[in-house]
Structure 1
Amino acid sequence: LFSCKILYEAAYTMFNIPMGSLLSAMSTNDSERASLSSARGVGSMIGNMIPGMVGPVVIGMFGDRTSTGYMITGCICAVIGFVICLMHYFWTEERTVVGADTKTDDIKFSDILTVVKKNRPFVALCIHGICICTMQYLVSNISLYMYSEVYHDVTYQSISSALSMPFMVGSMVAVPFICKKLGLEKLIRYALLIGGAICALLFGMHLVMDVHPLVHGVILGVGSGLAMVSIQMQWGLVGEAIDYNEYITGKRTEGSIYGTFNLARRIGQAVGSSFGFYVLGWIGFDAALEVQSASTIFGLKSLCVLVPAVFILGSWAAFRFVWNITPDVREKMKAMKLASKTEG
């Protein structure tokens, strides 16, 4: 299983990084970046729905305690994914114009160190990637314990997800239009700030009252859903960070920037996946107990609501205090790109 996971990640990375790097080349402004990022987000939701719909049916046919159903589900999803990847490959055409003075050997492995030192938007994105992925995977892993140990009914989790889904779909549809008014970076900052505040408010509600599981699920879904807008829209900012890198260093280095940003996201995923389970021991969780202690219940509420709020606000802080592409800098970047096209 470990070897299969390594092969999967390697294959995914070899396809994801070069295709994802095209986003910066395909877009020239916030509106185009938002539209492409929104389309990517909708595709991601559809892709997540396929195993969610196929998996339970197939696994149920073979029994949930055997590996056969999981293997068949994986094969079905792999075939569907492979067909879509081939469609993506054959339907994508990159038109490039190489100038006579273009150097083919001026990109070095050490360039990424220069990017880290000089490209503050890239650093902000890496901080955001670690924080937001930690939040995402922490909520995903701990929510089950919240419903099973605090509310003693896991069906509320499915109901809450269903109730929150229209908000998620609506936000993805509305984002490109809102982006035309605010700009991509401001939109992400506002979504993170409001999402973090909603999660913090929910934790405050847990401190002073008994929150109904559906109320908890919907409020947490809206708060984390607003934060998830940044996950779907971040790819547009990666494109802008690549443009900024060309502006300050003369090199675009799409692959290095995109790949290193994905590494930061993987770090966040690893932290979020392991942190929650590790802390369960700290708060005194005991799976053998039918009813957890009051301190454990408080710890679960903190893990599920307060800690994600902190990471969401940490992501907001990265864009508020580290990101430095102002409207003036953006205009200079645009002028440089136009001058480059004119010379070409």
Structure 2
Amino acid sequence: MDSPSRWMIYGANGFTGQLIAREAVRRGLTPMLAGRSAEAIRPFARELGLEGRVFNLDDAREVAAGIGDVSLVLHCAGPFSRTQRPMLDGCLSIGTHYLDITGEYAALEALHGRDREARQANVVAIAGVGFDVVPTDAVAVRLAKLLPSATRLRLAFRGGTLSRGTAITMAEGAGEGGLSRQGGLLVHEPMAARTWQVEHEGWTYAAVSIPWGDVVTAYYSTGIPTVETYLVVPPVAALVMRGSRRLAPLLCLPAVQRLLRERASRAKGPTEMELQEGRTVVWGEVTDRAGHRRGMKLIGPDGYRFTVESALAAVGRVLAGGVSPGAWTPSQAFGAGFVTTLPGVELLQGVGRA
């Protein structure tokens, strides 16, 4: 990344933000580090020899002042259902490019709805430049090109250990149930309403349907009207997820939400060994009304490591001026080939069983 433009990692004290900041410094980059906690940001910035800045997202003027001298913000502070809008408002108000690493479908949908504002402000706005949703988005687009008549897209992934921030976001959405896109419309449904058998290295895995960001991004990237997203889980976990359907109303209660957030806050994320040696797998499949079928599989590094690589690559692309203003999915902004430029990523044809 040769651009001298100043850029910021907001939420740099979080698990993923720290990973990105450390890797940026290792590569000779000098992002500004920012967040809401002075006790966390300032020592971390000093450790890395970077400039640190503290501001909240509660006041639009404070946000605009906090980002006023940077060309781009990489927003890493979730839950994005609460933090995306104020940061994006600030970026649009002063013409600062906006990237984030969300996988929350509501935040992805909200960003897409602000395309006109982004164009008018001459701002590039891209949500989901991490493991959520760069690899799945790329698989979706490649499959759509293989079968242009596709009417249904299924995507599944196998993840790893959760960080504190990701665990809290998942806890807050525990009572919302499942979600898919059917005939172009977002449809709420029970969690784990569907199952899909996928294969990898001779093993068969059960994947259950979950609400994932691609019900938004894959639809806008490909135009395929039916999009379903799945997570590979152990059989016991699948049973628990199906059983939670009856508990959904209880999971939304404030007292239960507090308990879930407290438990989620104990998550520590993957170890250094897991980060370096862990692997993720993404399965994709498209079908059309005539019964034609195409499949694809992506193998890549641990999800958090994937996010570090893809987020920094996305920052470099935008600062280099290669993306037009507007609200984009990752593949719309960078092309389906973007994912293959990232280290440790392999694409294979075929997924396995239906």
> TM-score, normalized by length of structure 1?
0.26
| Structure holding more helix per residue | 1
| Structure holding more strand per residue | 2
Structure possessing the higher relative contact order (Cα contacts under 8 Å, 6 or more residues apart): 1
Q: Give the structure with higher Rg (CA).
A: 1
